[in-house]
A and B are shown apart, each in its own frame.
Chain A
Amino acid sequence: MSEAPTRGRSTDAKVVGGALVLLGVFALAEARRLHALRTQMVAGAVVGDDTFPMIVGLALLLLGATALVARLPSVKVTFPEGIPRARMLWGMGILVAYWIVMPHLGYTGGTALVSTGLYRTLGGYRWPVSVLQGAISTGLLYLFFRVWLLEPLPTGWLGF
């Protein structure tokens, strides 16, 4: 929930509008490429793989332009500062690190490290508590995904 919206040309509408226009141009370019392919491959077909990229591309262009110029309902948004902001940035960074290291360290090593980091940064717990919570989480998730659901989790260099 946030404050009641007011109407105006807001930054978010400009960013979203601009992104939609770019995507629209991209979709139309792709539609053109696919159209040329279709006419070579399936002679006489009225519709094909290019039809919806063209429709969606046109719609994106139109809506993007509308978002750029129209006065849409907008809300005043404040972003967190200080500790909450640091926690969020650390949290996202740790998730990206998890994505990078899990194929190499495997599920157990990667999850133990990352969950400890998450409890430390997002939860603000002391290191010993975070390590304990990380170990418990890693064990429980292993039981859940590997033992119960039989998911083949990455094993990495360590082999587990």
Chain B
Amino acid sequence: MAVLGSLLGTLVGVLPGLGPTAAIAILFPLTTVLQPVPATIMLSAIYYGAMYGGSTTAILLNIPGEVASVPTCLDGYPMAQQGRGGVALGISAVGSFFAGIVGVVALTFFAPFLADQALRFGPPEYFGLMVLAFTVVASLSGGSLVKGLSMAMLGYFVSLIGLGPSTAEPRFTFDWAPLMGGVDLIALVVGLFAISEVFLGVEEARVAIATEIRNVFPSLADLRQSFPAILRGTGIGFFLGLLPGCAPGVTVFMAYDAEKKLARHPERFGKGAIEGVAAPESANNATSSAGFIPLLGLGIPASAPLAVLLGGLLVYGLQPGPLLFQKNPDFVWTVIASFYIGNVILLILNLPLIGMWVWLTRLPYGILGPAILLLSFLGAYSVRNSMFDVAVSLVFGLVGYFLRKYQWPLAPLLLAFILGPLLEKYLIQSLSMSGGDPSIFFRRGISLALILGAAVLLVTSIALVRYTSRRVRQETAEEMAL
């Protein structure tokens, strides 16, 4: 499953303009027929693969699938223009591998600690955790908190459709049977991220670009030059990635800026400096790996692709959080073990097979677009064998297209859709425990700490988002959703 997931993730991730979120959205339905463990392994490997695939299009085509790939374009594309695209891809693979392994090792050691905390968590603590998770909306909002919050509330509204959690009374259903089961997560994800992506691609008339790749193996001198940058990028990406809500889009710019400031000749940056590829790529993967710690341990996704992954865990019947480590240790350890395998496989896949990925970037959009639409349509149908879900994905495809055109961020919508029902459940359980007294959230240590942590994180996230938005505008003179 790790091999297949890495292969599929890279395959979709290298397609021009398709970022990791779209890649996971397209492939997500295919994992739902599997058992939870292989499904999670496959979805995680798709995530890894898609993250790596994104760097291929950034380096070879100057197309960043997501904001996290923007710094890679800055030096990766000039390297490709100088005939060193293969080396840039190679160093990106090496840096990603190193950072990925560091992140997984840390997750391995952190897991038992989280398992020990499990018994201290009751509904009020989980409610605090959900409040903490909701602060991520700030970092996923892009340039406007009002837009982010609006989208989050829209997502929350959609999540309320169906049967109420305490009395099973239908809500927002108009007594129409298909709405009783609520809006399916996969239909929503496929519509918002996959179908809308195809229409944006058709509109932009994405074209294939011929690129020659000779050697992907960096020389010893390249490795020596890049290694400190890989180490620093890994450190920045990993430690910041532990903060719930700190997305790769933030850490890559920090890693790139740090490298530029430390360089003896900063004027080389932006013209094909290998450190300019090594540092952000390492930071990207370190943050992605570190993101699994708050995701699996606390149920907090740091980025849109991880939000889809969180949705996946819930669809497979697994509730992320400290109890996951205690209730399902076999699951957790198998998935962590698969991360090691997945990282090694990605390195094996990406260095010798780079020619195949480059060939894929040349596939005409006239073939890709219809193929993605058909896959999305059947994927949305296959989860519950429901044409209603297909209709939902088409409607959200249209809504997603317009929202993306006008830069209303979609990640907060998805996050609130996933976390909303959990927040509601834990609030109702907590207040039932306390007889309606809300001070229960402030009388219990962990719950209070989580709520205070949420306030601190909110302020930090807003500061980090402002920094990243400014840097994106400086580098591209354009605006991108984080």
Which residues of A are at the interface with B, using a C-beta cutoff of 8 A?
Answer: 1-5, 10, 12, 16-17, 20, 23, 26-27, 30, 34, 37-38, 41-42, 45-49, 51-53, 56, 59-60, 63-64, 66-67, 70, 72-75, 77, 79-80, 84, 87-88, 91-92, 95-96, 98-99, 102-103, 111, 114-115, 118-119, 122-125, 133, 137, 141, 145, 149-153
Contact = CB atoms under 8 A, between A and B. Distances in A.
A5 B143 contact: yes
Given A74-B406, A75-B479, A95-B377, A23 B157 contact: yes
A102 B166 contact: no
B427 A123 contact: no
A92 B391 CA distance: 12
Contact of A73 (B143, B149, B154): B143
B164 A63 contact: no
Contact of B375 (A42, A45, A141, A153): A141
A60 B436 CA distance: 25
Contacts of B77: none
Contact of A47 (B364, B373, B375, B428): B428
Contacts of A87: 202
B239 interface: no
A88 B150 contact: no
B171 interface: yes
B367 A123 contact: yes
B406 A77 contact: yes
A73 B406 CA distance: 10
Contacts of A73: 143-144, 147, 407, 479
Interface stretch (B109-117, B291-299, B322-330, B382-390): B382-390
Interface in B105-137: none
Contacts of B203: 79-80, 84, 88
A48 B166 contact: yes
14 contacts: A4-B477, A42-B167, A52-B424, A60-B153, A60-B157, A63-B150, A75-B407, A75-B479, A91-B198, A99-B377, A111-B374, A123-B367, A123-B369, A137-B374
A67 B146 contact: yes
B401 to A, nearest CB: 9
Given A84-B205, A141-B378, A48 B370 contact: no
Contact of A77 (B147, B199, B405): B405
Contacts of B156: 52, 56, 59
Contacts of B371: 137
A88 B158 CA distance: 26
Given A5-B407, A60-B153, A88-B202, A99 B387 contact: yes
Contacts of B402: 12
B478 interface: yes
A88 to B, nearest CB: 5
Interface string B456-482: 000000000000000001001111100
Contacts, number: 193
B385 A20 contact: no
Given A84-B202, A145-B382, A152-B385, A30 B172 contact: yes
B105 to A, nearest CB: 34
Contact of A124 (B33, B366, B373): B366
Contacts of A67: 146-147, 150
A52 B406 contact: no
Contacts of B222: none
Interface residues of B, number: 67
A129 to B, nearest CB: 10
Contacts of B199: 88, 91-92
Given A45-B432, A123-B367, A137-B374, 20 more contacts: A12-B406, A17-B150, A30-B171, A34-B169, A42-B166, A42-B167, A49-B164, A49-B165, A49-B167, A49-B171, A53-B160, A53-B171, A74-B406, A77-B405, A84-B203, A115-B374, A118-B373, A122-B202, A122-B370, A137-B371
B167 A48 contact: yes
A72 B33 contact: no
Contacts of B436: 45-47
Contacts of A145: 378, 382
A12 B198 CA distance: 22
Contacts of B48: none
A63 B373 contact: no
Contact of B146 (A3, A63, A137): A63
A46 B394 CA distance: 39
B100 interface: no
Interface in B403-456: 405-408, 420, 423-424, 427-428, 431-432, 435-436
A148 to B, nearest CB: 9
Nearest to B478: A1
A24 B172 CA distance: 12
A10 to B, nearest CB: 8
A150 B382 CA distance: 10
Nearest to B379: A145
B209 interface: no
B1 interface: no
Q: Which 9 A-B pairs have the closest CB atoms?
A: A123-B366, A49-B164, A46-B436, A118-B370, A12-B406, A63-B150, A1-B478, A151-B382, A80-B203
A149 B382 contact: yes
Contacts of B318: none
